[in-house]
Amino acid sequence: MKDKSYGAVMARKNEIMKQAIGIDYAIFENEGLGFDYERMMRETGYTLEEMQDIQGRTGVGNTPILEMKNLTALARKLAPEGKGARIFIKDEAANPSGSFKARRAANAVYHAKKLGYKGVIAATSGNYGAAVASQAAMHGLKCIIVQETYDSRGVGQPEIVEKARACEAYGAEVLQLTVGPELFYEFLLLLEETGYFNASLYTPFGIAGVETLGYELAVQMREKYGKDPDVVVCTNAGGGNLTGTARGLIKAGAVDVNIVAASVDLSGLHMASDTHFNKKSFTTGHTGFGLPFTTMPDRSDVPRSAARPMRYLDRYVTVTQGEVFYMTEALAQLEGLEKGPAGNTALVAAFSIAQEMDADQMIVVQETEYTGAGKHIQPQLSFARDNGIDIHFGDPNTQIPGENIVLPKHPSLIKAVDLDLVKIKKSVIKNAVSGLTDVAITQEDLDYLAIESKTDTAFVKEALKELGIL
């Protein structure tokens, strides 16, 4: 019998992961700091054509792009003369399971069956769980979803509970845990005990599945409107959404598109804190995931994450919880589209950024999601009130995460806030060299860090000097 203590399980995590994914990540490691990301994506993933075929077999992909004419008109009323870009959304809610995560799951579950695994396991509290469960049902595989659901009082967030119901409806077994380090521990134990496939969000084939979204987006915009969009906005949490979309756009030749990451500002709330866990009203697409995963992508459940958003993003903005709730209702009442909160995070940012752009330009929100009983505005706001959160109309800029939710009293108050990209880039470099002592930085290391931070070697050298490395 293997030692099942926390320390022992964590000590053999790389061995467990290798067995559960079928990838020897060590072969992609360079001698210094970095690894060969493109080789990993090329040798362990699928071509774009293969991904399109795999997804098409289960009805995934080829989702429509919709123009938000009424939201565009409202943005133009608030914008300076001649400003107000046309706003579009790619309706990923049309996928089986109701979100873009079906693209990642389709590839992951197909790959698991191809390798001969009898079942799949995913650790997720979000839409990905339902996507994996849906795809597993289609392929005849067993499925276990591990969720971080409750605080120590046994109180669960309505959106997470809603997603558990969805997973169970597809025939998956759902293991619900309290917030804390037990999630990864239980996940590793299950992988080891069952021999199932790790349908991680962060594998090469999972991220590559989202490339079809970016590729489709470019092709559809050219076919319908004669050109690539000027800006694409991606809700950003673990980074796979943005990474895959950006890579797909590049494969379509849409290399001049400005890529914007958008997260809900939950600064001050710690995602692993029992007392903070139910003080937030968003389970994903927020800074508690977005910033740590952007600056330290390999904090994920695989040795090297294929989600590396900092390699691709051009701008990173935050929006508030109140603005997303407001935009969710505006989308329903102005455009007749009822969608969940994750995609509407990017829509808030697009509505604000459109007012900076010329009227003949186009901005696309690259994903939407389904909505359901636990994901609606009212259960979320009721849950917030039950947890002592003050809710009122006013200026969203005055919000204090964990204390209040401020709904904008007028749409002119909806403003995306830019994060300091220079600071984020330096954090990427700092985290990459963390723990190094008496190690010479090679030119290969400098080149790797420049790609990781989307800068150049001069920037990297200056950042390393500030850290006392060079």
Residue with tokens 């996507």: 131
Rounded mean pLDDT of 366-375? 90
Q: Residue 44 has what pLDDT?
A: 82
The three-point CA angle 250-251-256 to 5° equals: 25
pLDDT per position as a tens digit, 1-53: 789 999 999 999 888 988 999 899 999 999 889 999 999 999 887 899 999 99
Question: Do 223 and 335 fall into the same domain?
Answer: yes
CATH number for the domain including 143? 3.40.50.1100
pLDDT > 80? residue 79: yes
Domain boundary among 203, 235, 255: 203
* Domain-embedded: residue 1: no
Question: Do 377 and 452 fall into the same domain?
Answer: no
Question: Do 79 and 130 fall into the same domain?
Answer: no
Residues of the chain with pLDDT > 90, as a percent, come to 83
Q: Which of 72-86, 270-284, 330-344 has the lowest mean pLDDT?
A: 270-284
Residues of the chain with pLDDT > 70, as a percent, come to 100
If you write DSSP's letter for every residue of 129-193 in order, what string do you get?
Answer: HHHHHHHHHHHT-EEEEEEEEE-TT--B-HHHHHHHHHHHHTT-EEEEEESSTHHHHHHHHHHHH
Domain that holds residue 199: 6-54+99-203
Domain boundary among 203, 218, 250: 203
pLDDT > 80? residue 288: yes
* Domain-embedded: residue 377: yes
Question: Do 240 and 349 fall into the same domain?
Answer: yes
Question: Do 193 and 110 fall into the same domain?
Answer: yes
Per the prediction, the chain carries an average pLDDT of 94
The three-point CA angle 354-358-364 to 5° equals: 40
Residue with tokens 């914007």: 260
What domain count does the chain have?
3
Domain boundary among 203, 236, 257: 203
pLDDT > 90? residue 75: yes
* Domain-embedded: residue 265: yes
Question: Do 315 and 218 fall into the same domain?
Answer: yes
Question: Do 194 and 259 fall into the same domain?
Answer: no
pTM (2 d.p.): 0.96
pLDDT > 90? residue 470: no
Q: Residue 282 has what pLDDT?
A: 83
Q: Residue 440 has what pLDDT?
A: 85
| Non-local CB neighbours of 428 within 8 Å, separated by 6+ positions | 294, 295, 296, 310, 449, 452, 453
pLDDT > 70? residue 437: no
pLDDT > 70? residue 63: yes
> Would the CA dihedral through 355, 406, 309, 367 be positive or negative?
negative
* Domain-embedded: residue 196: yes
Question: Do 346 and 267 fall into the same domain?
Answer: yes
Q: Residue 14 has what pLDDT?
A: 84
Question: Do 243 and 268 fall into the same domain?
Answer: yes
3-state DSSP of 42-55: HHHCCCHHHHHHHH
Question: Do 397 and 407 fall into the same domain?
Answer: yes
Phi-psi region of 401 (alpha: psi -120 to 50; beta: other; left: phi over 0): beta
* Domain-embedded: residue 451: yes
* Domain-embedded: residue 15: yes
Q: Residue 438 has what pLDDT?
A: 67
**How does residue 283 score in pLDDT terms, banded at 50, 70 and 90?**
confident
> Between 44 and 256, where is the model more confident?
256
* Domain-embedded: residue 385: yes
- Cα Rg, the chain, nearest whole Å: 21
The winner for highest mean pLDDT among 205-209, 216-220, 286-290 is 216-220
HSE (CB half, 13 Å, CA atoms) of 23? 28
Which residues share a beta bridge with 362?
86
Question: Do 182 and 277 fall into the same domain?
Answer: no
pLDDT per position as a tens digit, 293-317: 999 999 888 889 999 999 999 999 9
- 383: Cα separation from own chain's centroid: 24
Length of the chain: 470
Q: Residue 435 has what pLDDT?
A: 76
Q: Residue 125 has what pLDDT?
A: 84
Cα distances from 67 to residues 212, 331, 335, 344, in angstroms, run: 20, 12, 9, 15
Question: Do 128 and 17 fall into the same domain?
Answer: yes
Nearest to 154 by CA among 178, 137, 186: 178
Q: Residue 302 has what pLDDT?
A: 87
Q: Supply φ then ψ for residue 207, to 5 degrees.
A: -70, -40
Q: Residue 61 has what pLDDT?
A: 97
